[in-house]
């Protein structure tokens, strides 16, 4: 599904990610962890072809996103960081727009599953942050994508909203690959099947999620602190 090989991305003099390699297959829920500015969003953008790597190769769904962005995003759902939406649109209209561009119908149960069926005729600018996040997630699920990339999907949400989003990710992930970035370590414990930790643009851990409550946090702090020294 995903194959990153020795990816390096530089923005002028600034190195965003260095020599990043990993693969991901169907059914995996990958928690992508890292402190701010570690390179999580850059890596996700490289997977989507919004950015092209300075060095290395990216294959997503058998395609090179740098050369065939449209082909890759056709089968990929993406929830960007800060979830940019069109505030002047109503929720129904926005989902209709995404479905129209994807040339796919809106699944009948999507709004109910995501919990936005009561706000379909409300303008996005009038929604709470939690609802906006759910609208973004619903948009990412239109077209039954094989790969779902979620950049901090629960950022800024209250615990109840977080639980709802986590349950949703679990539900949709069965026959797909999900990569989600987060700062909330317990979230990775709850839903991820695999953990990748990135720090200062380099992958410092890629493996199974450690067992036991608080173990992810312990591992994360250990690795990131070690790197900082």
Bridge pairing between strands 202-208 and 14-24: unpaired
Stretch that binds another protein, among 22-30, 93-101, 162-170, 174-182 (CB under 8 A): 93-101
Q: Is residue 61 near another protein by the rule CB under 8 A? A: no
> Which region, judged by CB under 8 A, interacts with another protein, from 89-97, 165-173, 179-187, 199-207?
89-97
* Residue 95 interacting with another protein (CB under 8 A): no
Q: Is 31 in the site for another protein (CB under 8 A)?
A: no
| Closest C-alpha among 94, 103, 40, 107 to residue 75 | 103
Told to check if 201 binds another protein by CB under 8 A, we report no
Candidates 42, 43, 76, 133; binder of another protein (CB under 8 A) is 76
Which residues are CB-neighbours of 158 under 8 A, at least 6 positions away? Answer: 130
> Which of 103/229 has CB closer to another protein?
103
Query: With binding defined as CB under 8 A, does residue 146 bind another protein?
Result: no
- Per the structure block, which two tokens stand in for 107? 């699944």
Q: How far is the C-alpha of 121 from the C-alpha of 107, rounded, in Å?
A: 17
Contacts with another protein by CB under 8 A: the residue count is 27
**Least CB distance from residue 102 to another protein, whole Å?**
6
Q: Which is nearer to another protein, 93 or 206 (CB)?
A: 93
Q: Is 215 helix (H, G, I), strand (E, B) or coil?
A: helix
Nearest to 30 by CA among 202, 201, 188: 188
Residue 163 sits in the site that holds another protein (CB under 8 A) = no
In eight-state DSSP terms, residue 124 is G
User: d(Cα 68, Cα 88) in Å, to the nearest integer?
Assistant: 31
Q: Rule CB under 8 A: say whether 58 interacts with another protein.
A: no
The phi and psi torsions of 180 (rounded to 5 degrees) equal: -130, 140
* Residue selected from 46, 48, 197, 204 as contacting another protein according to rule CB under 8 A: 48
Four-residue CA torsion sign, 7, 10, 15, 16: negative
Enumerate binding residues for another protein (CB under 8 A).
Answer: 48-52, 69-71, 73-74, 76, 78, 80, 82, 84-89, 93, 97-98, 100-103
């Amino acid at each position: 599904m995903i194959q990153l090989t020795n990816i390096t991305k530089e923005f002028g003099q600034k190195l965003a990610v260095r020599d990043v390699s990993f693969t991901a297959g169907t059914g995996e829920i990958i928690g992508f962890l890292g402190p701010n500015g570690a390179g999580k969003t850059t890596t996700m953008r490289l997977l989507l072809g919004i950015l092209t790597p300075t060095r290395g190769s990216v294959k997503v769904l058998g395609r090179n996103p740098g050369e065939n962005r449209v082909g890759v995003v056709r089968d990929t759902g993406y929830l960007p960081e800060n979830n940019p939406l069109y505030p002047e649109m109503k929720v129904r209209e926005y989902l209709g727009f995404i479905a129209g561009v994807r040339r796919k119908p809106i699944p009948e149960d999507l709004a109910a599953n995501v919990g936005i069926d009561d706000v379909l005729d409300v303008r996005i600018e009038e929604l709470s942050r939690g609802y906006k996040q759910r609208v973004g997630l619903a948009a990412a699920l239109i077209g039954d994508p094989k790969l779902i990339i979620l950049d901090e999907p629960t950022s800024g949400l209250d615990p109840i909203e977080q639980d709802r989003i986590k349950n949703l990710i679990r539900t949709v992930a069965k026959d797909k690959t999900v990569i989600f970035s987060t700062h909330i370590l317990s979230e990775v414990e709850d839903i991820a099947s695999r953990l990748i930790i990135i720090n200062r643009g380099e992958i410092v851990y890629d493996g199974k999620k450690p067992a036991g409550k608080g173990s992810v946090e312990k591992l994360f702090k250990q690795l990131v602190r070690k790197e900082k020294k």
